[in-house]
Amino acid sequence: MARAELLRNERISAKAGDGKVTLSSLASAVSAGKQSGLDLHQLNIILKVDVQGTIEAVRQALQMLPQENVTLKFLLQVTGDISSSDVDLAFASKAIVLGFNVKAPGSVKSYADNKGVAIRLYRVIYDLIDDVRKAMEGLLEPVEEQVKIGAAEVRAIFSSGSGRVAGCMVSEGKVVKDCGIRVLRNGKTVYVGILNSLRRVKEMVKEELGNLVFTSSGM
């Protein structure tokens, strides 16, 4: 038993079954009492904050949390917005990135998604501490994550009885019926909703790749 415990404690880079270490996956593993897949004895953290004085406050608060199941290891704790180099470090060390009062540019978020790196941003220290505590106790509720599957350029808009229909050209990946969509104009979000229907000319389809399609979302 002692040797088994020692071997578990030496696992510092184990990861969840889907290859992505997140607070939610940690909480699920703790809740299920798993001793394989995700290392329950160490969680690697990259901490980015707005001002120097916040670093020690956040670190001390986190280290005061009970660590019977999970111990915390801070790989990096510095000021400044989250960068691609932070994502690279998190990817290499199977860490999560916690940000307080900092930003993660869209390009960095996309890079993190592609790498399978989790970034959590906070404006209230209590929320950061509470999420980590709940994860370590297996109590954190799953967080819905948005995963980009494709992009399309709107070429024309038509009115219909149920709303608007957009004539689109799929430019990246694919579009799928009933998936969530975000409509951007000049880089700003102008609509968020669900893709209600998808047609190739007059034919109803479930998904489309690389062709002109007509979509309806009740915009």
- 23-32, 62-71, 79-88, 134-143: the lowest-pLDDT one: 134-143
Question: Rounded distance, CA 181 to CA 179, Å?
Answer: 6
8 Å CB contact between 3 and 56: no
Q: Predicted confidence band at 7 (pLDDT cuts at 50, 70, 90)?
A: very low
At residue 105, does pLDDT exceed 70?
yes
At residue 99, does pLDDT exceed 90?
yes
Q: Which residues contact 214 (CB under 8 A, 6 or more apart)?
A: 158, 165, 166, 167, 168, 198, 199, 200, 201
**Chain centroid to CA 17: how far?**
16
- 0.75 surpassed by pTM: no
A 10 A CB-CB count for 46 gives 22
Residue 8 is predicted with a pLDDT of: 43
Interval 161-218: pLDDT, tens? 666 788 888 888 888 887 888 888 887 777 777 777 787 766 776 666 666 555 666 5
Start-end of CATH 3.40.50.10050 domains in the chain = 2-137
At the top level of CATH, which class does the domain 150-216 belong to?
Answer: mainly beta
Start-end of CATH 2.40.30.10 domains in the chain = 150-216
- 55-59, 127-131, 165-169: the lowest-pLDDT one: 165-169
Q: Which residues contact 140 (CB under 8 A, 6 or more apart)?
A: 23, 24, 26, 27, 131, 134
CATH architecture of 2-137: 3-Layer(aba) Sandwich (3.40)
8 Å CB contact between 46 and 90: yes
Residue 22 is predicted with a pLDDT of: 87
- 21-30, 36-45, 122-131: the lowest-pLDDT one: 36-45
What does the mean pLDDT of the chain come to? 79
8 Å CB contact between 54 and 101: yes
Question: Rounded distance, CA 103 to CA 98, Å?
Answer: 11
Strands 95-100 and 43-49: parallel
